[in-house]
């Protein structure tokens, strides 16, 4: 199963979004694992298929992309993040994972 990893400073606000993405996945019948962590803990995670950063951590995108060249690394759209739009962010994640890094 694909695993989507969301990261922000402490994993707090991303975990709110994760709940909404899970809900959206449930409604749409998409089987996927979604998790939120602190940016500094990304390396401790089991393999994942995409990293999505909270916009406040956007500055880490370049470094992470270099560190994980085989998976897509992206910063979540500010508006989608603010409105906690689980549907849209999940859609973006799936689209990016299909496209690859």
Hey, which residues are catalytic here?
8
CB of 54 to another protein, least distance (A): 7
To another protein, the closest distance from the beta carbon of 53 in angstroms equals: 11
Binding footprint of another protein on the chain (CB under 8 A):
8-10, 12-13, 16, 40, 54-60, 62-63, 78-79, 81-84, 87
Task: Give the residue with the Cβ less far from another protein, 34 or 75.
Answer: 75
**Closer to another protein by Cβ: residue 24 or 49:** 24
What is the chain's length? 101
3-state secondary structure the chain: CCEEEEEECCCHHHHHHHHHHHHHHHHHCCCCEEEEEEHHHHHHCCCCCEEEECHHHHHHHHHHHHHCCCCCEEECCHHHHHCCCHHHHHHHHHHHHHHCC
Shortest reach from residue 6's CB to another protein, in Å? 12
Nearer to another protein, 40 or 45 (CB): 40
């Amino acid at each position: 199963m694909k695993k989507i990893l969301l990261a922000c400073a402490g994993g707090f606000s991303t975990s709110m979004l994760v709940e909404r993405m899970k809900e959206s996945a449930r409604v749409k019948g998409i089987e996927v694992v979604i998790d939120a962590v602190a940016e500094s803990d990304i390396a401790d995670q089991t393999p994942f298929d995409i990293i999505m950063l909270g916009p406040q951590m956007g500055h880490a995108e370049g470094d992470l992309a270099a560190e994980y060249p085989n998976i897509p690394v992206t910063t979540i759209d500010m508006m989608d993040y603010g409105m906690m739009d689980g549907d849209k962010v999940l859609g973006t994640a799936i689209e990016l994972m299909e496209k690859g890094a």
